[in-house]
Structure 1
């Protein structure tokens, strides 16, 4: 039986809340850019299908944005309540970075979100499109500041330790720390992939049901083009990110690979396809390995070596099973995304993209794959950094607040119940919107049709059972 401590419960609570939170901003980032593309295509071509899809996904975006804001507020409070020693140690750096996110990105999004959602018949077409673009840009700026803060915790630089606190010395080095560019691109592509799979899965589902055929075909087509381009690019960026991690956080990579012991000279490091990491025995049980392949991937040499987990004391190692299995789930889903994109291209060339039911079912099944891959990627990132909260500077055990086991137990239970109730209803409502599908809301010959349609997101699911 696992013997939990108050710190363990605080970590579980933070992992639980951040896992909920990261889903909504990722969809927000991807959908905001998708909406800008749809509205831009409508302005350029005047084809009603683009406006139909834009109005449909904007309702989903509005609900998702609201849940992202609510879940994000909770994250900020936790730094002060459960991780006060971290705030005391690194607050001079992470505090301003998060403030910059609010003053730039959030103010920009909030300023133009109302025009974007409710200004269809109140402002000109170009001004509305500008508002949509600015909201999309705001989501990207927000992502940039958040990842700058998180990346500094992974690869800190540009600071000095004065009186036991990290004090900023060079903000350029703090923001553009060694892992920041890789994390920024990797996360941005992950958000676009998650959105493409969500849109493609929605289109495939409606094609299987025989509903909203024209709109469903357009959704599926655009999603497959995005997947075909972005999925292989994400694999390349992920490889570059892994090499950067190997340089600055070698124990994280060792945990990802399940590499326990130093290899013999010239033997190389095998790729562990499957195994069960045994922390006590310092080995992988039931391992299935391919010799030298991990060396080829990580060092681009068949006999290259990497630091094993046993090169550091046990207390300096991450919890290997979480990192090991999360990494394999992420990679497996990434390969399936590439396969889906290539399969879509082949079927498109044959003129059968919208007809093969097995392919449409594949698309529906892959609908949540982008979000799952992103979550497992973050599990690798955060669990692999342990036992450090600021890598090499402050341990997680030294970053927490002095709460009792009882207090943390009640707090965690309250969070779980509230999150499941509140966000469970929100997610269910979003799925109801997607299930209902798009409606023709704009016709070139009848512009008054747009003015008569309600812009409230909740109005889109009238009559839908939740």
Structure 2
């Protein structure tokens, strides 16, 4: 079957597969690192055991997800030298420095403090351990900063010149390259999406345990309730912010990449008197029509230009060879937007339940939160598909075509490596993901309130009569010989 594809398409599929698989992990760990730092800070501030329990529960999951993200990300750098060697040669002088800084600063920061975060609580003291947690959280953000800067430059290239002999992109203004026109919007939109992704995974896990304990006729622990409450607060506050940031990002895209917006909106035809917002339809690139379209008249012009009668150009103004695959961009964009509004709905629903005092008893809310647990991962993948496929047929928008970026490899060679990646990724990372799900299936650290030994300081145990120390300490808290 792979023999019917050319080498460039197979290379694109391979990179899309590996980068999609990889980004599932950073999309989770960026937000989870910050969540862990918050939990550790709350534990040090309040000495309330539930925050320490939640930290220990999620830090194991973070360690696994972080490791799989690092390993899956290494493969992509190899592909720059194998499948995309021409792109690497042409764009390397510009993108090489930011990618190197990502390793030298952000990744070293994460890796350097990760061990202290995981194992150093009783070895380095609470202050340094808290600094390590904050450093790992900042490192994940800083890593996203550099990677998104490179990707944004490929979307809106500035600050360079082209060598007339070699065709290489030569840097002229480093800071203009880093802070290119689309970078601020893409950074905040992507990082906010990562926080929402974490919130809904955490909320889904908490909802699962709330439902299970209720089914057993048992009261859920304070840790489980706190976990669900924190996740729902995040959804309530951040989801509307993310929708606003997405709108700002869309306006920036309209300014710098109007063809991408045409594909997102399904506008094959120009609309001089106001463009409709198509909710559904079947894009047909051959006939250049949106079949069975269902839309709201002039709403697209209102959203994009803030004027019902504002004209919008369509793909009829763009040569066929410069158009992206409209069907993929059109539907990926709608999946992302639909999930964004669904997240907003869950946040508002939780706010209503909280106001009614039923946040931890609302079974249908818990079921909805459980169903929505992977929604953030799906949404970020749909967003990246919209961004990357919408940039086609270019790797460096308007400057370097994808067909001219690929290495001169035969299709069977690329196809063979693609099959190998698919098999290995699903075997190795599938096993890791399965183990993460097994960890999530366990209740948050025994799911019952307990006392801790005096080395952790005073603990709030309202309504609990202290038991003898040996009866309340867990095996992992004991010293050898006890």
TM-score, length-scaled by structure 2: 0.92
Deviation string, structure 1 residues 400-449 (Cα, Å, up to 9, x no partner)? 01111111111110000000001100111111000012215984445485
1:177/1:445 CA distance change after superposition, 3 Å: same
- Structure 2 distance, partners of 1:429, 1:317, is 42
Aligned residues between the structures: 452
SS at match of 1:403: coil
Residue 168, structure 1, aligned to residue 174, structure 2 = no
Instruction: Compare CA radii of gyration and give the structure with the larger one.
Output: 2
Instruction: Report the more deviating stretch, 157-166 or 431-440.
Output: 431-440
Residue 452, structure 1, aligned to residue 476, structure 2 = yes
2:289: which partner in 1? Answer: 283
Structure 2 unaligned spans of 5+: 457-472
**Aligned-pair CA distance for 1:126:** 1.0
SS at match of 2:170: strand
1:437: which partner in 2? Answer: 443
Structure 1 unaligned spans of 5+: 455-466
- Structure 1 distance, partners of 2:6, 2:374, is 33
2:225 to 195, 217, 220: 217
Residue 351, structure 1, aligned to residue 357, structure 2 = yes
1:230: which partner in 2? Answer: 238
Residue 248, structure 1, aligned to residue 272, structure 2 = no
Residue 50, structure 1, aligned to residue 51, structure 2 = yes
2:275: which partner in 1? Answer: 269
- Structure 1 distance, partners of 2:137, 2:290, is 45
Deviation string, structure 1 residues 195-219 (Cα, Å, up to 9, x no partner)? 0000000000000000753222111
2:392: which partner in 1? Answer: 386
1:457: which partner in 2? Answer: none
SS at match of 2:26: helix
1:198 to 171, 196, 201: 201
Residue 187, structure 1, aligned to residue 193, structure 2 = no
**Aligned-pair CA distance for 1:450:** 7.7
- Structure 2 distance, partners of 1:79, 1:310, is 34
Residue 138, structure 1, aligned to residue 139, structure 2 = yes
**Aligned-pair CA distance for 1:271:** 0.6
Deviation string, structure 1 residues 262-282 (Cα, Å, up to 9, x no partner)? 12x43x100111000000000
- Structure 2 distance, partners of 1:88, 1:60, is 38
1:451/1:394 CA distance change after superposition, 3 Å: farther
- Structure 1 distance, partners of 2:143, 2:122, is 29
SS at match of 2:209: helix
2:407: which partner in 1? Answer: 401
- Structure 1 distance, partners of 2:430, 2:106, is 27
Deviation string, structure 1 residues 439-463 (Cα, Å, up to 9, x no partner)? 1598444548589359xxxxxxxxx
**Aligned-pair CA distance for 1:120:** 1.8
1:34: which partner in 2? Answer: 35
Instruction: Report the more deviating stretch, 185-194 or 112-121.
Output: 112-121
2:331: which partner in 1? Answer: 325
Instruction: Report the more deviating stretch, 348-357 or 379-388.
Output: 348-357
- Structure 2 distance, partners of 1:442, 1:254, is 58
Report if aligned partners of 1:121, 1:450 keep a CA contact under 8 Å in 2: no
1:372: which partner in 2? Answer: 378
Report if aligned partners of 1:159, 1:167 keep a CA contact under 8 Å in 2: yes
- Structure 2 distance, partners of 1:259, 1:214, is 51
Residue 423, structure 1, aligned to residue 447, structure 2 = no
- Structure 2 distance, partners of 1:83, 1:442, is 56
> Aligned Cα RMSD in Å?
1.6
1:460: which partner in 2? Answer: none
- Structure 1 distance, partners of 2:130, 2:62, is 16
Deviation string, structure 1 residues 215-234 (Cα, Å, up to 9, x no partner)? 22111100010111100000
Residue 99, structure 1, aligned to residue 100, structure 2 = yes
- Structure 2 distance, partners of 1:183, 1:134, is 23
Deviation string, structure 1 residues 107-148 (Cα, Å, up to 9, x no partner)? 111111111001121110111011000010111100000000
SS at match of 1:160: strand
SS at match of 2:357: coil
